[in-house]
Every structure is written in structure tokens, then in C-alpha cells.
Amino acid sequence: MPRSDQGELFFFEPPPPPGARGGGAAETSVPREHQPLAARMRPRRLSEVVGQEHILRPGSLLPRLVASNRFGSLLFYGPPGCGKTSIAEAIASETGSRFVRINAVMSNVAELRDILSVARRMPEARSIVFIDEIHRFNKAQQDLLLPDVEEGNIRLIGATTHNPGFYVNPPLLSRSHLFRLEPLSAEIVGDVLAQALADGERGLGARKHTAGGKVLIDLAELCDGDLRRALNALEVIALSLEEGAAITESEIEIFAQERRIRYDADEDEHYDTVSAFIKSVRGSDPDAAMYWLAKMLEGGEDPRFIARRLVILASEDVGLADPLALPLAVAAHHASDFVGMPEAGLSLAHATIYLAAAPKSNTATLALGAAQSAIREQPVQSVPIQLRDKGGKASKRMGHGEGYRYSHDFSENISGQEYLERALQLYTPKSVGAEAKIAERLARWREMREGLRSAEARAEKKTR
């Protein structure tokens, strides 16, 4: 059986289903009894795959493509342990196709060229090339697949936990059917765990362990919908006990202490979680904000990254409704850098709750956007001559600064003079929190300016 020194690669020729041609004896690199429980319990047909009824129910697109054996390239997108590999292997088995599995983390261009060359020499085998974690293939590797996908020399099945729109090259994406898989519910995972405990051929049935339904559901919930992880956890727990022993809540509690949440820095889970955090703070939900904060901290997120997001939120979403939000967020950022984890989490929690519970205003954000649009889309205004710097003899000769009114010489600093050649309305305050007082103050000053300008116009008219 061909193998690669660079990574995981094996050829799998499943037995043909009834009425199918081709196939042969399956070859595996590890004896079945030595495989992890998740591998032994892997579905053998599409009908055995659990929890993905939205793409596998009878009459839907994927089962019809497989039944007719007339599918091209497929992409399966979903979280770990939801069935992507299982579906790919079931498709190969049901269609009697030659199955070549590659792990994109370990593979390289030379290995890929060899695989494609063999597939071209075996057109009758209808080779399926399954690429696990295809998002880790670089552009050159993905482009290398295109000619053979186009010619039908291979049928590509890619699996990814990352959004294909960001990680799969557009030409390859456009030539593939994309199927999104959902996380498995705790109930579905619990049912499979019960089957694994009872299965004497592939599962743990020979060990005669027992477990209550609630215990299995608790284990499933700890594994976050990842069926592979749940099955392997069940096997570890079972092997740590005497044969025939009951699996109880105490064993699950021991496993829970070693639990690791799914959180990959700089990948989809990172961006999705911080997005939920930001939107929870913006939406004034401190409970949700604290949950997502805790997930980031438990996942090993850099506390300084979280603090930077809080500083941005303080101006973007709280703004002038609570002027104390920004200095508080900056202080939390400083504390995160100065104190470090785990204590820095307290400062981040402090700032998170404050910002989530604060009144919200995005008027500073809107005002900046309006001002930038005015700069880009309208003629750029010149600085009025009375506002220009009058330093230097040349500036004085040109009249710079003449007619400027020193604001402190006037009541409430309102002189009535213009600060733009053409007046613009860029900032509109909200009547929330501290900004309500700003709105009142600006309204009063607007009336004062209009009064002063009206008086000036009357005075000028009299002098004519």
C-alpha cells in the first residue's frame, strides 16, 4: 500500500455496494481492533450518518447524486466531529470508488502530483481524492487540483472547519457543490455513545459497561457537539475502569476537569467569538458579553487583543453617552499589559460590564464618517482667513487672522463667527446618557449664534 513520509496518506478501495462495479478489499494501515473507538464506529453507509438530515434526508440533493454516482467535486464545511469524513467514506463505499485520503496539514505539492498521476492512469476506478482540512492547502496546491477536477480524472471531496469563501480558491469553489454540516446535538451524540457501549463488534460491548442516559448526555455536552471527541472520551473513560463497571457522573466530572474548549486563535472560531462579544456589548447584554469574554480567556486569547476591542467599543458604540467609558477601557488595556493573566481577566470583566451596561451612542462614529464623506465627495474647503495662522510677516501681510474673535471674550465662548466656508451638519447628538446634556447645550449655542448673527446683520444694514 503506498504511503508518504510527509504525512497521512492511504488508499481505500471499499467493497462495492449491491449492483455496483469495481472496488475490492479494503486496505487499512491499522488493524481495526487497534483503531480508536471513533474510527471503529464510523458509519459505513450514508443512511448510518446521524444528525445531518438537512442534507441527507431521502430525496435531497446529496443522496440523489450518490445514488446515481454522477457527482463531481464536493465540499463539506462544518465544525469538528460533525461527520465530514464519515460522509466522504460512505460515499466512496456506496459508489465503489477508489478512495485516497490526504491530510492537508502534512501533504505537499510533490505528493499531490504523484496522487493525481496515479488517478489519471486508473480512470475506471473513479478515484475520490478526499482532502481533510483543505483550507490548509495553499493557492498553488489548490490550483494544482483544477485541471484534474475539470477533466474528471478525480472527484474531489474537501472537508474544512473554515469558511470556504475565505479559504478555498474561487475557481475550485465554483466547481464544487458546497454542503454545510451543523454541530450535533447532545441528544444525538448521547444516542451514538449508547450504541457504542452496546456494540460488541465495533464498540465497547465486550467490556459490558453501563451508563445512564444523563451521564452520556453530560459527556456529549462537554464535547460541544464533536462526536469523534465524545466517542474517544468514552473509550478513555471505559478503559480506565474495570470491565463491567458502571460509568457514573464522578467519571464525567474527572473528564470535565481536563476539558478544552474549541477556540482556534486567528481562525473562524476566534473571529466568530469576538464578533459575538462585540455585538453583546453593543446590544447592552452584560451576561452574554461576560460569557463570550470567558470563552476567549479560557481559549487562550491574548488579553491585550480583548482590551483593544473594548477601547474601540468605548468610542464606537458608547461614545459621548458616557465619556468615562473610554478612559476606563484604556485603563483596562493598561492593566492587561501591566498585570497579565489570570488577574488581567478581572480588569477586562470590569470594563466589559461597564461598557455593556452603559448608555450607547454611535454619534462620534457617524460624525467621523460624515466628515470623511464630505472631504471625499465635495470640494475641499479652504480655511477661512480669520482662522489661519498669522505667524510670520508674510502671513500678516496677507491678512491671516484678521477679524478673528477670541471665544473667551464672549458669553459661553460663543462669538457667532463661522468656522467653515460652507456650514455642514455632521454631528447630531442623541438624547441618551450624558449626551443628552450635550444636545441641550448645542441647541442653546445654536440659538445664541443665530441671535449674534442676526444682530450683526442688522448693525451692518444700519451702517450702509
- Grid look-up 471527541 returns 229
Are the CB atoms for 189 and 227 separated by under 8 Å? yes
Pick the CATH number of 186-257 from 3.40.50.360, 1.10.8.60, 1.20.58.1000, 3.30.420.10: 1.10.8.60
Which stretches in the chain have pLDDT values below 50? 1-28
Pick the CATH number of 9-180 from 3.40.50.300, 3.40.605.10, 2.60.40.420, 3.40.50.2000: 3.40.50.300
CA-CA distance, 54 to 144, in Å (whole number)?
Answer: 32
- Quick one: pLDDT at residue 17? 38
- DSSP state at residue 49: -
Q: How far apart are the first and last CA of the chain?
A: 104
Q: Is 370 helix (H, G, I), strand (E, B) or coil?
A: helix
CATH number of 268-357: 1.20.272.10
CA-CA distance, 129 to 125, in Å (whole number)?
Answer: 12
- Quick one: pLDDT at residue 315? 94
- Quick one: pLDDT at residue 262? 62
Q: What is the mean pLDDT of the chain?
A: 84
- DSSP state at residue 208: T
Render pLDDT for 73-117 as a digit per residue (tens, 0 to 9). 999 998 888 899 999 999 998 888 888 888 887 878 888 888 888
The residues spanned by each domain of the chain are: 9-180, 186-257, 268-357
User: Taking the alpha carbons of 247, 252, 255, 257 in that order, is the dihedral positive or negative?
Assistant: negative
CA distances from 303 to 226, 333, 351 (A): 27, 8, 12
CA-CA distance, 199 to 202, in Å (whole number)?
Answer: 6
Closest of 354, 303, 352 to residue 324, by C-alpha: 354
Strands (E) in 84-233, as ranges, are 99-103, 128-132, 155-160, 176-180, 210-211
Name the burial class of residue 170, with classes exposed (0-12), middle (13-18) and buried (19+) by CB atoms within 10 angstroms of its CB. exposed
